Amino acid sequence: MKVFKRAFTYIFLSVAAFFSIFPFFWMVVSSTNKSVDVTKGRLLPGSHLFENMKNLFETVNMGQALLNSAMIAIATTVLALIIASLAGYGFEIYRSRKKDILFNILLLSMMIPFAALMVPLYRMFGGISQTLPIIGIDTLAAALLPTITTAFLIFFFRQNTKMFAKELIEAGRIDGLSELGIFFKIFMPSMKTAYAAAAIITFMNSWNNYLWPLVVLQSPEKQTIPLLISNLGSSYSPDYGVSFLAIVIATIPTALVFFLMQRHFVAGMMGSVK
Amino acid sequence: MNHKRKSQTIGWVFVLISTVFITIFYFYPMFQALLLSFKSGMGNNLENVGFSNYKRLFGDPTFIAALKNTFIYLIFQVPIMIILALVFSVLLNDPKLRFKGFFRIAIFLPAVTSLVAYSVIFKNIFAQNGIINKFLIDISLISEPIQWLTNPILAKIVIIMAITWRWTGYNMIFYLSGLQNIDASIYEAARMDGANAFQIFTKITIPMLKPIILFTSITSTIGTLQIFDETMNITNGGPGNGTVSISQYIYNLSFKYTPDFGYAAAVSFVIVILIVLFSLIQFRVAGDRK
């Protein structure tokens, strides 16, 4: 009975692992094959990787899309971390009734679906285009501005601030540091785990964001990786090898970021669920 | 007193930028959407029409299809995924299990892909000449390829499978870390009292994980109600409107068909109401704790 149960567990987990991994395996193998071999269902690595790479970077302009995505994701992550951690710290350290009310109001924004904001934001950036074209429609700035501040990240930093040793603030004040000085010189360096987790979440969300860039970025040279992949997948005569290579390349940064910092991710997320 | 007041002022400075950003990019557009939902017209030539956009919803077959599809995704996908994630996490929490690290990473792996990327993969896997049909024909289970993406029921099943594939491992991670916080002696005591595995699961594991189950089911519900990337890239809403989601319909109304921003805004308020409603229900079902 016990042996039977054990065997069943391993079979069940192996089947699940197979289904989880198979699409990855297939995508990696396909990125090395000719389009026609992909449609034949070839499951062995081919010799077409460099050809696909050449097509992807020369005819589809993957390089530009990578650059756009990287710029948006890095700028979003840096700004989001500073702005949200300032707020999380502010709400927790300088706690007051009025701030608690404001905090709860900000949390309500988590319930607002992006689809409801898309049209008004599009019209808003359309209006900005008239006076301030550098942040108007079809600019990378417009693609990142609405995603910089999320209530989730503020909540996340507030929860993590609860674990910060408050005595350090008094010590900083006695040493004559300003309140901002305490934040930047004492709080930030001592909360590395929280910042790492927040960086992973923000970077992944920004790198993978699709709907808003689809709405606001129009010219081909502005497109980000998800837009490029979507276009490759829906063209009339898709080159599957090239498509899959783009998907593999798009997945590498988020997979790397995640696996390098996975302990921080779980620790940070658990800190905010408790 | 003076010092206290001064530090309170500084506190407001700390929270200022976030408050401004969230007001500009969430609350103000939300308010604009509400105003828009009472207007109608092409593009930017809008006039007030009262509640007529909301009345139009009831007779709009595409809207009803989108609502129905989104509900089907929700009521099948979220429970399947939560139960699967719970089962995986309990199995993988067994200290005697071997190859634990491998199984964990394997099941989590899908969560690192982008929604668009995995959608394109699924579209190809289930295409008429895709690998699933090839395999089924090779093992002689079927003689004709199955029309996965052009049959409205099968296409919905493919989308449900896709979301489950992408998010089960992600939710499992939360349960795994929750399980590690449960004291082993509680299980020990239950076993001494003669509880079987099923009783331990329903009487100890589930109640102890309740806050995390609530968290994952609310985030999954909100996510599924907003589903867009998958339906757009796997089936493009088709066949007919067999898989179109509410978010995709809003997108189509605003940017694909002749833009009717007012009506699109009215449709978007349906998702707002649904999200608030479902979150309240889940808080209520989860009981007093939080």
pLDDT for A260: 77
For residue B48, the cross-strand partners are B39
CB of B282 within 8 Å of a chain A CB? The answer is no
pLDDT, one tens digit per residue, over A82-135 is 999 999 999 999 999 999 999 999 999 988 989 999 999 999 999 999 999 889
Residue B130 CA: distances (Å) to CA of A45, B126, B127: 17, 5, 4
Do residues B116 and B229 make contact, with C-beta atoms less than 8 angstroms apart?
yes
Chain-chain contact of A13 with B91 (C-beta, under 8 angstroms): yes
pLDDT tier at A267, thresholds 50, 70, 90: low
Radius of gyration of chain B (CA): 24
- Residues of chain B positioned with their CB less than 8 A from the CB of A83: 17-18, 21
Rounded Cα distance between A13 and B88, Å, is 8
Whole-angstrom Cα distance, residue A120 to residue B36?
A: 8
Rounded Cα–Cα distance for residues A229 and A23 (Å): 16
Q: Cβ separation of B33 and A116 shorter than 8 Å?
A: yes
**Chain A touched by B182 (CB under 8 Å):** no
Tell me: pLDDT of A271 over 70: no
State whether ipTM is beyond 0.85.
Answer: yes
pLDDT for position B290:
44
What is the model's pLDDT at position B3?
A: 66
Q: What is the pLDDT along chain B (290 residues), one digit of tens a residue?
A: 466 677 788 999 999 999 999 999 999 999 999 999 999 887 677 888 889 999 999 999 999 999 999 999 999 999 999 999 999 999 998 888 889 888 988 999 898 899 999 999 999 999 988 889 989 998 988 889 999 999 999 999 999 999 999 999 999 988 988 888 888 888 888 888 888 888 888 888 888 898 899 889 988 999 999 999 999 999 999 899 999 999 999 999 999 988 889 999 999 998 899 888 888 888 788 765 44
Give the count of Cβ contacts less than 8 A between chain A and B. Answer: 247
Q: Are A245 and A31 in contact (CB under 8 A)?
A: yes
Q: What is the pLDDT of residue A205?
A: 92
d(CA A26, CA A42): 9
Query: Which domains can be identified in chain A, with CATH numbers?
Result: 63-239+253-273 (1.10.3720.10)
What is the residue type of B263? Y
Which of B19, B31, B112 has the highest number of chain A CBs within 10 A, making it the mutation to test binding with A? B112
Cβ–Cβ below 8 Å for A146 and B25: yes
pLDDT recorded at residue A63: 94
Question: What secondary structure letter does DSSP report for A95?
Answer: -
C-alpha distances in angstroms, A178 versus A95, A96, A169, B15? 18, 20, 10, 17
Write phi, then psi, for B140 (nearest 5 degrees). 60, 25
Block residue for tokens 């003076």: B2
The residues that bridge with B39 in the sheet, in sequence order, are B48
Nearest to B68 by CA among B244, B229, B232: B244
Fold observed for domain B55-286: MetI-like fold (1.10.3720)
pLDDT above 90 coverage of chain A, percent = 69
Residue spans of the domains in chain B: they are: 55-286
CA distance A150 to chain B (A): 7
Average pLDDT in chain A: 90
Q: Contact B14/A87, CB-based, under 8 Å?
A: yes
* Per-residue confidence (pLDDT) for residue B1, from 0 to 100: 47
* Whether pLDDT at A186 is above 60: yes
Contact by Cβ (8 Å): A198, A81: yes
> Is the backbone peptide bond immediately before A133 cis, with ω within 30 degrees of 0?
no
Buried b (16+ CB within 10 A) or exposed e, A74-88: ebbbebbbbbbbbbb
pLDDT in tens, A129-143: 999 988 999 999 999
Q: Nearest residue on chain A to B32, judged by CA atoms?
A: A120
